[in-house]
Structure 1
Amino acid sequence: MYQVLARKYRPRNFNELVGQNHVSRALTSALERGRLHHAYLFTGTRGVGKTTIARILAKCLNCETGITSTPCEVCATCTAVNEGRFIDLIEIDAASRTKVEDTRELLDNVPYAPTQGRFKVYLIDEVHMLSTHSFNALLKTLEEPPAHVKFLFATTDPQKLPITVISRCLQFTLRPLAIDEITEHLTDILNKEHIQAEQDAIWQIAESGQGSLRDALSLTDQAIAYGQGAIQHQDVKDMLGLIDRTIIYDLVLAIHQNQQQRVSQLLMQFRQQALDVSLVLDQLISTLHELALLQYLPDLSLKYSAEINKKIMQLSQLISAQDLQLYYQVACKGRADLQLAVTQEQGFEMCILRLLAFRPLQPNEVLVSTAQQAPLQNTEIAAQAPIEQMRSQADAQPAASITVETQAVDSTLIQEASSDDFLDETVSEPAQPSSTSLDQIIFDPATDELLFDLDNSNENTHRPVDDEPSSDDFLFDEIAPLPRADIHDEPKLTVHPVVALESDLFLTSVQNQAETLLPLESVDVETASATDQAHAVVELQSSILDENTPVIDVVPDQDCNIMPQDILRLTPQQLEGEWTLDKWEYWFRHSSLSPAVQELAQQGVMSGQIDGQSTFQIAPKYEQLLNQLQHALEQALKEQWANTQFEVKYADVSSTTPYFMQNERKQRAYARAAELLHAESAVKDLLHSFEGEIQNIQLK
């Protein structure tokens, strides 16, 4: 007659026991030294070996060779215990015998000597199911039992046991088995059974066992029957109702990269396959946990195929640790809210959409202001509008003062594109002026970055966002295109009526909304009628450059024929030999150091040998901060140059630092940008037609 694997391969001694080394070691030592307790309590989840260990212990106590940790397995006592017919091993199911009368009947037989063995062993399974009166009746005997009696208790819920019972027992907590331990044990059993099985399928069964070896063996029996004598990975996934892990990885990647169309396709696929969405969400949470672990434990061994392992490693390197924590928290919250949703499918889909909606901005993205939750609309300025039209507008509003104010998002919500990525882009075509609208460009030399914020101020002009930057994305005809931004939670703006100035330079963006945040940029235009020949002033105002750094008003000769982004670009350096200021700046600005460490690095200078003795000199006021971040800087140097001997010297830096070099480049870029602005034909026409001038151009 066929015997299920869980019973056929139940361990019969401590050597065959899978896991639970802390329990087997303690019991083995006690048996060998004769230091035996009269009551043992085994706790743990289902299928981890509580009853098995109790039976092995009973066999060790009654083996005919004597009390031993290695029973002979051949004597009558060992054979009887293995077959479940040893008369002095009394197994009681407390779940079916909860009454106090049952306990009293058991205690009435305690004083009598064992019939066949050395000890009379009472094995009470699920002991927490006994009633309060039963526990009270058991207390006195449990505290001082006869010398020939041993009590072995097993329970999955020790919290329900009275503390008076627990204090009278020697307690062992059995832990859930690791997936590796279950996988190895299943592989040995299948080899003994001569059953072909794929390693991925065995791993999947072990994971589905959730730490219970008995559950894993039961699933193995089911998989053998389902696969007609063989265990295939696809069969196991179909049997358990699981989906391919690669789909989960694709879903995580699509959410992280804001690929809304791909997320939609995957959600439709889940619907069509009628999957158990709670299991899908469980796999998503497990995947996020696994990715977070790999970031801190890159040597963690994975039991998947080589293809899946490669994808996992790529994902763990692509998604930042803080993003993973946010995704995990949202997914866990969604898992708890499944029961609150109208249907589980609805709760699952809302959880995925929530992950997408609250996805953090990536380094190459910028938050864009818009009035509707819709694709970004095209906003352009007509550079060649008839001068007569503007004059008529000015005549209609004599001596009018018009102000446009745009509001910006809190800077903590904005993650900007790095200047290196931006500057590497090339111009595909010159900017073409179009219909009247106002755009906003923020050029921030302090971070070598550009923010580009577009809003629609013309209801008749619409165009969807595409992946390729349009001709409107240029500061000047010759300047490289600005990166297009993704749309998320948009800020609201306060807007007053405006007269649109015709120019290729996009001054500001306008949007009709009520709520305001911090003002980022304002353009004040004062116009009068053409007959009055009033003075026209265009003021473009932003944050001011460093107060301690003089502004360069005249473009240096070496900058006359290059673009602002070329001025900002660092000259490539050969990182060998002695450290120089240029080499030091080029290295840390192109390294993977965090922004905080790079901020410190630009305040000091490095001297000494690359890949040798190096000394970093920095002002004493940065000592406390550097003490916290020094390890990251030193580790990055040693990862690239193994022979680096790094030390820090706290002293005032008399020479130029990368910080001042960077500011000098930004000023030169600013001066060059101002020169290009004045050279624009549209700006010249405006100034000439209105007898105006551009004043106080300040960019930070």
Structure 2
Amino acid sequence: MYQVLARKYRPRNFNELVGQNHVSRALTSALDRGRLHHAYLFTGTRGVGKTTIARILAKCLNCETGITSTPCEVCATCTAVNEGRFIDLIEIDAASRTKVEDTRELLDNVPYAPTQGRFKVYLIDEVHMLSTHSFNALLKTLEEPPEHVKFLFATTDPQKLPITVISRCLQFTLRPLAVDEITHHLTDILNKEAIQSEQDALWQLAESAQGSLRDALSLTDQAIAYGQGVIHHQDVKEMLGLIDRTIIYDLILAIHQNQPERVSQLLLQFRQQALDVSLVLDQFISTLHELAMLQYLPDLSLKYSAEINKKIMQLSQLISAQDLQLYYQIACKGRAELQISVTQEQGFEMTILRLLAFRPLQFNEILVSQTQVAPLDVTQPQIVNDDTQSTHQNTAAVQEQNSQLQHVQSHQVNDVQNTQADAFDQSEDIIDDQQQNTHEPSSDDFLDEPIEAQSSIESVEQPNNVQEIKQIDSITENTTLEVVPELSLFGGESIQSNTPVISANVLNHDADVFFLATETETHAEQDNVAVIEAVPQQSIVASLEYTSISSRELSTNQTPQEILKLVPQVLEGEWNVEKWEYWFRNSALSPAVQELAQHGVMTGQIDGESLFHIPQKYEKLLFQAQHDLEAELKQNWPNSRFLVQYGDVDEITPFNMQNERKVKAFDRAAVMLHQESVVKNLVEVFDADLKNIQLK
């Protein structure tokens, strides 16, 4: 009669036990030394060997050769235990005997000596199913049983056991088996059974078992029947409803490289195969995790085929860690939303499309925002505004070439300028909503403070040197304008050049697209020069809406982070305000001490006599922090002599310099936000305003 693999190849001793070395080592040592406990508790998920270990332990305790860790397997006791007919091994299913009456009946037989063996062994499986009264009835006997009684408990849910029961037992937690351990065991069994198999198929069976050896053997039985005596990888995938792992890699690569056609082909393939999309998404998420782990642990061994190993290694080197984290977050969010979707297929496909839509820009890609430009009258002048000096250099040639046309109707130019003035007034209204009372900043969180109203208003004053009048000879009807801002829409640092890249291309559709930058554009970005591509036999007119630019001297190729960053100083010679600020803001001083330090200035010699000037109102606060400040100075410069002078400070303090940087950074951020294509579209379509601009 046929016997299933899980029963036929159940381990009969500790040497045959698969995995669980920590348990077998402890029990073997206890048996060899004769240090035996009266109660053992084995916990772990299904199919990891709890009952098997309990039976092996019962055999070791009652083997006719004596208490040993290596039973003989030939005596009557070992044979009876293997065949499940040993009279002194009482196996109880707690799930079917939960009542207290059943437990009392069991305990009534405990005092009697064993009939055949050396010990009477009570093996209670799924012990967590016993009732509270049953546990209470068992406590006294479990604590002080007769010498000839051993209790062996097995459970998959130890949290349901009373702590009073757990404290009376030696607890062993069995871990889920690794995939390679299960694969190796399946290979040995199939070799003994003379059944042909593919290694990838066995790996897939082991992975699907999720750490349970019994599940793996049951799936192997099913695969043998499905493949008519042979285990093929394709048969296993069809049987389990899985897809080829390489398809998951192709999907991730297509998303990362922005290949919508390839993504649509793969989604259509999923539909045709009628796969369980929840399992597909699970495998997608697991693959992202594996790629992320390989980036930080490149020596992590892979157990797949050579082709799959090569593909996953290449993929881990191609995708950045930041992109993987974004993909993982979107995929996990989509996995949670599968249950609330109309159909799981719909939720899965929307998750993939979301991954494609929110894919971060690559280093050589430019976001093209397309807008239709209506045909223009040749006599109509166009106003082109830009906030970079490099653009003035480029447009100078155009202005010179068309200088003969600048006598065009002046009233039309005035109308355009009046329109711009209205836009400037709206910008002033936006900034006015931001105005708040200034207060003393915090050294560790100074970016959350409001910007002074005066500086904000100055940031929207119109410069006089940014208007250029361009006249063209021929006009195209389908012209697109593309502006690449310095800020990334995904909250991270921009991967583009700090200078906006302006290019015009003729396109035939209205959707936003990603494309690779040309070599000319790439070099132009590096040289901080705005680029205008020439279209053969056509002239391009680009009219840029004016955005607020500070009247202060802002470096247009700097981000707010760069503006706020302190310039490194050589801390030698005499103190000045720049050296003083650079030192204390980069020191180990507490935020409270740095808060005081920014309101004063340091004079004198570095590594010598240093005099700290600070207003009188900070005397009480500085008296408490003076020791810390002096100790930090002497730790860097042992020869320092720290003196304090209270009084009015007429010089510029680090506090004033910090406020100035914050104003410039805020102005720069406002300019960059107004240049964002998405923001510009929202402002134009919905007549919107930008409010509550903050730097974090």
- TM-score category of the 2 structures, normalised to the smaller one: 0.5 to 0.7
Q: Does 1:305 align with 2:299?
A: no
- Counterpart of 1:92 in structure 2 is 92
- Counterpart of 1:270 in structure 2 is 270
- Counterpart of 1:56 in structure 2 is 56
Alignment partner of 1:121: what SS?
strand
- TM-aligned CA distance change 1:139 to 1:507, over 3 Å: same
Could you say which structure has the higher helix fraction? 2
Q: Is the 8 A contact 2:366 2:514 kept in 1?
A: no
Q: Does 1:508 align with 2:544?
A: yes
Deviation at 1:384, TM superposition (A): 6.5
Aligned mates of 1:470, 1:364 — CA distance in 2: 9
Q: 1:325-404 to 2 correspondence within 5 Å? A: 325-367=325-367, 370=369, 376-377=370-371, 391-392=408-409, 394=411, 401-403=418-420
- Which deviates more from structure 2 when the two are superposed, residues 255-264 or residues 72-81? 255-264
- Counterpart of 1:207 in structure 2 is 207
Alignment partner of 2:408: what SS?
helix
Aligned mates of 1:337, 1:436 — CA distance in 2: 41
Deviation at 1:436, TM superposition (A): 9.6
Q: 1:386-535 to 2 correspondence within 5 Å? A: 391-392=408-409, 394=411, 401-403=418-420, 434=476, 439=481, 450-452=499-501, 467=515, 506=542, 508=544, 519=547
Q: Is the 8 A contact 2:94 2:129 kept in 1?
A: yes
- Counterpart of 1:544 in structure 2 is 555
Deviation at 1:401, TM superposition (A): 2.9
Deviation at 1:344, TM superposition (A): 1.4
Alignment partner of 1:338: what SS?
helix
CA distances 1:534-586 after superposition (whole Å, capped 9, x unpaired): xxxxxx99943699xxxxxxxxxxxxxxxxxxxxxxxxxxxxxxxxxxxxxxx
Q: Is the 8 A contact 1:255 1:359 kept in 2?
A: yes
Alignment partner of 1:353: what SS?
helix
Q: 1:143-292 to 2 correspondence within 5 Å? A: 143-292=143-292
Q: Is the 8 A contact 1:198 1:233 kept in 2?
A: yes
- TM-aligned CA distance change 1:15 to 1:465, over 3 Å: closer
Aligned mates of 1:8, 1:623 — CA distance in 2: 74
Structure 2 letter corresponding to 1:274 = A
Alignment partner of 1:53: what SS?
helix
- Counterpart of 1:678 in structure 2 is none
Structure 2: 5+ residue stretches without partners: 382-404, 428-472, 487-493, 571-579, 589-635, 638-696
- Counterpart of 1:140 in structure 2 is 140
Alignment partner of 2:123: what SS?
strand
Identity of aligned residues (%): 71
Q: Is the 8 A contact 2:195 2:230 kept in 1?
A: yes
Q: Is the 8 A contact 2:504 2:532 kept in 1?
A: no
Alignment partner of 1:116: what SS?
coil
- TM-aligned CA distance change 1:74 to 1:461, over 3 Å: closer
Alignment partner of 2:92: what SS?
strand
Deviation at 1:433, TM superposition (A): 6.3
Q: Is the 8 A contact 2:124 2:152 kept in 1?
A: yes
Structure 2 letter corresponding to 1:403 = Q
Q: Is the 8 A contact 1:469 1:483 kept in 2?
A: no
Q: Is the 8 A contact 2:95 2:129 kept in 1?
A: yes
- Counterpart of 1:572 in structure 2 is none
- TM-aligned CA distance change 1:440 to 1:248, over 3 Å: closer
Structure 2 letter corresponding to 1:108 = D
- TM-aligned CA distance change 1:392 to 1:58, over 3 Å: same
- What's the Cα RMSD here? 4.5
Structure 1 letter corresponding to 2:544 = T
Deviation at 1:361, TM superposition (A): 2.8
Q: Is the 8 A contact 1:32 1:68 kept in 2?
A: yes
- Which deviates more from structure 2 when the two are superposed, residues 264-273 or residues 434-443? 434-443
CA distances 1:300-328 after superposition (whole Å, capped 9, x unpaired): 11122222111101111111112212222
Deviation at 1:356, TM superposition (A): 2.5
Aligned mates of 1:177, 1:91 — CA distance in 2: 25
Deviation at 1:335, TM superposition (A): 1.8
Deviation at 1:264, TM superposition (A): 2.2
Deviation at 1:341, TM superposition (A): 1.8
Alignment partner of 1:151: what SS?
strand
CA distances 1:34-55 after superposition (whole Å, capped 9, x unpaired): 1111000000000000000000
Aligned mates of 1:263, 1:509 — CA distance in 2: 37
Q: Is the 8 A contact 1:377 1:455 kept in 2?
A: no
- TM-aligned CA distance change 1:397 to 1:266, over 3 Å: same
Structure 1 letter corresponding to 2:162 = P
Q: 1:40-119 to 2 correspondence within 5 Å? A: 40-119=40-119
- Counterpart of 1:553 in structure 2 is none
Q: Does 1:126 align with 2:126?
A: yes
Q: Is the 8 A contact 1:377 1:463 kept in 2?
A: no
- TM-aligned CA distance change 1:67 to 1:446, over 3 Å: closer
Aligned mates of 2:532, 2:6 — CA distance in 1: 61
- TM-aligned CA distance change 1:85 to 1:336, over 3 Å: same
